[in-house]
Amino acid sequence: MPNPAPQSSVASGSTGAIVVTRELARRHLLNKTKPPGSLGALEHWAEKLMLVQQTLRPTVSRTLVILFAADNGLASVSAYPRSVTREMLRNVAEGGAAINCLCRAHGIDLRVMDLGVDLPSASTRYEAVDHFRLTNAGTADPRLGEPAMDETVFSFVMGHGRKALQAAAGEGVQVVGVGELGIGNTAVASVLLAAATGEPADRTTGAGTGVVGQRFVEKCQAVQAAVDLWKARGVVPPNGYYHHSDSDSDSKSTSSSEAANWSQVLRALGDLEITAMSTLIHEAATTSSRTLVVVDGFITQVALLYAMLMYPDVIPAIVQHTLLAHVSAEKPQMLLLETLRNVALRHLPEDQVKEWTTPVGNWGMRLGEGSGAALVIPMLKSAAAIATEMATFEAAGVSTEKQD
């Protein structure tokens, strides 16, 4: 066995409490009975848990997937009708969806939040669903000239994302997976990615529910039309996130006015689920919740991108408090990862960003519902066990001397 790292001194805050730094977490893992780095990504996840929970003995005993559901104005570009959103919400409420199966299999709690599903009637309610809604119709079609959300709905949904994280943290949940449910929301995510990158719609748009052929062409046209309209109105920057890079390409910060613009982009072009998820992520990074957020696939990662664009001052904390679940099979996934990387690099060193933008899995999934996040949570339980239960060389009486 290689020699372990020497025990490091424990950093302390002003109150005398242990402050777990990246160096301290790594030294803790180096003293475990294994060759350095031999558990690969498991060690990275253990380190992340130690940093988020601020302890060398992290636990993953309380876990939760929060599934946000809503309709939106781009449902017509999907392969399936808008009514499937409410039918799938009922299926989830009855326990028959993929996310129900995965959560049951791994002992994960599931919280379903209806933010604006077009239900059969205003009085329709499902016992297993939290109905938090100001609208029965979801968001408006941004191609028609009005923002997807008015100020009241936008503010309400942003606040609800924060409250969802606060409630989970108050219940002692250590890991929250986030997901979404809504016909047309891959189109919304594609619009938002096009706005953020300045790339044409055919680069930011994927098949979603299985849109192919002429219907895919029409989906790309719808995505481009939405972006072009709000670009012409001055809401979407001409070249996306990089609209200011010609003059300050080496800058490590984004001005507050630019951050405010991204909030308006999200209100004009986004949907209820992405908005709620973006503020949930921001809340995890800016409170003392010590909750790790597992970000599912393409749509959820777009929410992560907008959390970073709207709140650039806390990007390092957002990176620390999030874990990317998987590489979605959606076509624009690589562009999205590249964009997340470029935004993070303005605030963090390259090695940390590379580690963060390497999702846990690459399983060919594109379902949504938080399904990828649910698969990752058991791996985090294993990572916590390594950090907490695995013996050190000294405690186990294992020699660290190398052979000559």
Active-site amino acid positions: 369
Beta carbons of 54 and 20 less than 8 angstroms apart? yes
d(CA 219, CA 48) in angstroms, rounded, equals: 38
- What is the amino acid identity at position 381? K
d(CA 17, CA 368) in angstroms, rounded, equals: 40
The dihedral formed by the CA atoms of 77, 78, 80 and 85, expressed in degrees to the nearest 10: -100
How many Cα atoms within 13 Å fall on the side-chain side of residue 153? 24
Phi first, then psi: give them for residue 141, nearest 5 degrees: -75, 115
Q: Where are the alpha helices (DSSP H) in 123-198?
A: 151-170, 185-197
User: Quick one: residue 335, left, alpha or beta (phi over 0 = left, psi -120 to 50 = alpha)?
Assistant: alpha
Long-range contacts of residues 159-164, Cβ cutoff 8 Å, at least 24 apart: 159/279, 160/113, 160/115, 160/132, 160/276, 161/275, 161/276, 161/277, 161/278, 161/279, 161/280, 161/283, 162/279, 162/280, 162/282, 162/283, 164/66, 164/111, 164/113, 164/276, 164/280
Beta carbons of 328 and 295 less than 8 angstroms apart? no
User: Quick one: residue 16, left, alpha or beta (phi over 0 = left, psi -120 to 50 = alpha)?
Assistant: left
The dihedral formed by the CA atoms of 176, 334, 22 and 55, expressed in degrees to the nearest 10: 10
Residues pairing with 12 in the sheet? 18
Q: Collect all residues with Cβ–Cβ distance below 8 Å to 194 and sequence separation of at least 6.
A: 200, 201, 203, 204, 205, 223, 224, 227, 240
* Residue 181: both structure tokens together: 């449910």
Q: Where are the beta strands (DSSP E) in 96-186?
A: 109-116, 129-131, 175-181
